[in-house]
Amino acid sequence: MRSDTYDVRMRLKGGRMLKRMVLPVLTLSMVIAGARSTYAYTAVKGTVTCSSGKVRKEASTSASFAFGVRQDEEVTVIDEKKGDDGKVWYRIKVGDSTGFIRSDLIAKSKEKVKSADGSSKDKSKEQEAAGNKAAAGTVLVDVAILRHEASTKADLEICIRQNEEVELEGTLKGDDDKEWYQAVYKRNGISYKGYIRSDLIKAQGSVKKIEETPKETDVKAADAQDKNTGPGEAAAGVQIGTVKGAGVNVRETAVDGKVVGTVSTGRTVTVTEQVAGSDGNVWYKISFISNLTPKTGYIRSDFVEGVTRNVTAKETEEGNSSFLSENKIEEDKKEEEEKKIEEEEKKEDKEYWDCDEKTGTVKGTAVRIRDRAVDGMVIEQLSTGHRLNILGVIKGSDESIWYCVEFMAKGSERKGYIRSDFVNVLTTTKDVKPTSDAEFENMIAPLPNDYKASLRALHDKHPAWIFEAVDTGLDWNESVAAECSVGKNLVPMNSISSWKSTEPQAYNWSGNWWYGFDGGTWASASREIISYYMDPRNFLDESGIYQFEQLDSLDYQNEEGVRKIAEGTYLDSSFVDTDGVERNYASTICEAAWEIGISPYHLATRMIQEQGLYGRSQSISGTMSGHEGYFNYFNIGAYAANGRLPVENGLIYAAGNDEEYFRPWNSRYRSIYGSAKYVANKYIKKGQNTLYFEKFNVVNKENGIYKHQYMSNIQAASSESARMKKAYADTNSTLVFRIPYYYNMPDTPCEKPIGESNPNNYLSGLWVDGFGLAPEFSSTTDTYYLTVDNAVEGINIGATAVASTSSIGGTGYTGLNTGTNTIPIVCKAQNGTKRTYTLYVQRN
């Protein structure tokens, strides 16, 4: 029997810490048929094959998250078992952490880590020899940073792009307790030496261990001494700061230098120097990364906060300055941090308690997530709507309540602390309490009376539903008129005639055809069909109501619901992305939605609405000539312009560069994630957080009422609403619906037009035998004149209609009286509308 020791924390049921102790851990022994036998799984090394994998506490997709692993990360497989999904799961160990992951996400190697008796096997001589040589390595991520020492706080040496190679001279543990490589990178004949995190590199072969890394501050001090630098030229220390402000300019020189880039709230920058500007302000010289390229420049110091070390400068005659040596500051800071960590752990033992796991969303902009409560290092900044799993609660040294939370960020699951007043805790299904009739009536009281009967019927079936009355403050007739602007709302060209506008810019009366919009396959919508889809009273039923559902991320939304929406569509499948990784649409959609703070159901229905049931559009094929390798799932920027069709313009947009929305969209994952963030930031977080408000902007004044509307298809909100309903197996969750109302609405709901008859009542020709008319005939001119002698007792009138379905009255022989004769010629369209042309004949 073999014995190891584990550091164990014990808690009471309520979560309060009792004792920390060291306990022996024994290998499992089994007695089979009276004979003593030792069971030991032969541990082997393995490699993660997916871009990011979730390791869970049990062999089940519903089990709690334990920790995350990245592509090509090395793990130790210590056991395997059959999960509740019928598949094989591996129990793996990474560092001191263990958990379960699906076996198809791990590639086992042939190298055995432990034999049955627990002993390690020796490496071969060839492996030892190989370990003494520099191994080759390849960068796995978009950009990896080579630093001066093995620390994420160290100076940046150079940025290395994906698939570039480095030489790995050794491996060591960094100040974050993770493995780092000492590496050499060559570019344009120049060698750069430094340290890089091992999880960013795929090593080709073994890498030898080295004892320690030289300290950056010691190197700098030596450099400064060797160079015998004078005032204003001392070797500069580095500071880490965080930008505050949107689109802050970084300049080539302080005050009025050329702008070399912009940075915004939350961006971490390295401060290397400070100068006194000619404007009387202190300016920082900073280094930062923009579009994967390292840059340097100057920024006014009041736009940078949280600089981690003291800044003392000696100004030269030119106004330049540099930081003093930082060795003592570093030592003091390290000692101070160690004390804080120790104090925090003591508080945690006393104050931390677990809670029933709940879900919440962030409220606020760039809210800081820390590695411990109150004064921990900021590990991420999240904004309104970002989804969180609340794991526990702690009372901080600031006397505030803090939540320990899990969240998705940049494609991986992370853990940290956030102050509770920056979190909206969401109601779970088990917390649902039916709304009383009195509470319900109070909710709908502001709505017009003709809304209420339908909503009462819904309340009877779904008493937990919440209805929010939204006063648009707008006149109904003015709103409809604004939405009737030609081309703003569209219907398919093959729609019945009563759905299509007959405004002169929408319909050619003389030719009896409709003008095409958005590539020619759409027509401008008629006032009648716009009124129907815009009238909320037409959709207060079991299906239509979902176009008013709040689209923020809510607790009751889950992957199962996304799969129900996806049934029978292209989303009901997996895809192999451009990086060779196989991903599932449903899980990818949920991952993006929960990280960004938007409904995954909304994303799924929008992707189907934009790309069709089978997803055969060139927008997501990745093979369109001239635009290979780009994807646009939401058709953002896809409209006909400059002689190009919508699909081409959409892919041109996808190929652009925009760090905020992860463009270029050169992978399916980046397109889905970036598009989701685009919709969340530009619509959901600006109040257009229902399908109805995305279609008809009657709430977002910042971008202009009746403007900034996501889709032109008049049926889009209704169509997506019907599909959204499929997601809800349990319609008794607390769904939230935002119902708009207008002033001066019609007494009854606007009806859906059904007429299929031709509306054209124009003449294509009008004449009088033997005479000419003034002016010359035109379909759009309805008044004509003719003068005849007294001897002419009558005239013969002829006419033809533009549409063969029209009828004409007033033609043929007409007798004339002396003086002015008024003769109407009436063209009656198939739909019954009439147009009158008038002929004035003067008989002298």
* pLDDT tens-place string over residues 316-331: 233 333 333 334 444 5
Residue 228 lies in a domain: yes
Domain boundary among 659, 685, 711: 685
* Pairwise CA distance, residues 394 & 408, whole Å: 21
Do 719 and 677 fall within a single domain? no
Residue 495 lies in a domain: no
Whether pLDDT at 572 is above 90: yes
* Pairwise CA distance, residues 342 & 336, whole Å: 10
Q: Which of 24, 27, 21 is nearest to 8 (CA)?
A: 21
Do 540 and 605 fall within a single domain? no
Least confident of 43-47, 194-198, 242-246, 700-704: 242-246
Domain boundary among 64, 79, 112: 112
Residue 66 lies in a domain: yes
Rg (CA), the chain: 36
Do 266 and 312 fall within a single domain? yes
pLDDT, tens digit, for every residue of 214-234?
444 443 333 333 333 333 333
Q: In this predicted structure, what is the pLDDT of residue 376?
A: 85
Most confident of 282-296, 345-359, 681-695, 721-735: 681-695
The answer to whether the peptide bond before residue 664 is cis (omega within 30 degrees of 0) is yes
Whether pLDDT at 90 is above 70: yes
DSSP collapsed to 3 states, 573-639:
CEEECCCCCEEEHHHHHHHHHHHHCECHHHHHHHHHHHHCCCCCCHHHCCCCCCCCCCCCCCCCCCC
Q: In this predicted structure, what is the pLDDT of residue 188?
A: 62
Least confident of 223-237, 279-293, 451-465, 591-605: 223-237
Residue 715 lies in a domain: yes
Do 703 and 812 fall within a single domain? no
Confidence class for position 771, pLDDT limits 50, 70, 90: very high
* Number of domains forming the structure of the chain: 7
Q: State mean pLDDT over 142-148.
A: 77
Residue range(s) defining the domain that contains residue 613: 558-685
Confidence class for position 652, pLDDT limits 50, 70, 90: very high
Percent of the chain having pLDDT more than 90?
A: 41
Do 226 and 311 fall within a single domain? yes
Do 564 and 546 fall within a single domain? no
pLDDT, tens digit, for every residue of 332-363?
555 566 565 555 544 443 344 555 567 788 87
* Pairwise CA distance, residues 765 & 249, whole Å: 66
Confidence class for position 664, pLDDT limits 50, 70, 90: very high
Do 421 and 570 fall within a single domain? no
Residue 800 contacts by C-beta under 8 Å, 6 or more apart in sequence?
Answer: 763, 764, 765, 808
Whether pLDDT at 10 is above 50: no
Q: State mean pLDDT over 658-664.
A: 91
Q: State mean pLDDT over 657-661.
A: 90
Average pLDDT, the chain: 80
Q: State mean pLDDT over 310-314.
A: 36
Instruction: Give me the CATH number covering residue 359.
Output: 2.30.30.40
Q: In this predicted structure, what is the pLDDT of residue 28?
A: 35
Do 624 and 575 fall within a single domain? yes
Residue 792 lies in a domain: yes
Do 567 and 679 fall within a single domain? yes
Instruction: Give me the CATH number covering residue 799.
Output: 2.60.40
Do 647 and 572 fall within a single domain? yes
Domain boundary among 755, 785, 811: 755
Q: In this predicted structure, what is the pLDDT of residue 47?
A: 87
Residue 5 lies in a domain: no
Q: State mean pLDDT over 226-251.
A: 57
pLDDT, tens digit, for every residue of 158-186?
778 778 889 998 898 888 888 899 998 88
Q: Which of 309, 290, 130, 161 is nearest to 237 (CA)?
A: 309
What type of residue sits at position 506? A
Residue 27 lies in a domain: no
* Pairwise CA distance, residues 703 & 701, whole Å: 5
Q: In this predicted structure, what is the pLDDT of residue 333?
A: 52
Task: State whether residue 39 is helix, strand or coil.
Answer: coil
- The CA-based angle 379-149-345, given to 5 degrees, is 40
Beta bridge mates, 92: 77, 99
Residue 23 contacts by C-beta under 8 Å, 6 or more apart in sequence?
Answer: 5, 6, 8
Q: In this predicted structure, what is the pLDDT of residue 112?
A: 53
Q: In this predicted structure, what is the pLDDT of residue 235?
A: 32
**What stretches of 780-829 adopt beta strand conformation (E)?**
783-788, 794-801, 807-809, 812-815, 819-828
Residue 695 CB neighbours (<10 A):
25
* Pairwise CA distance, residues 371 & 618, whole Å: 44
Do 281 and 200 fall within a single domain? no
**Backbone phi, psi, residue 623, to 5°:** -125, 5
Do 663 and 751 fall within a single domain? no
Residue 412 lies in a domain: yes
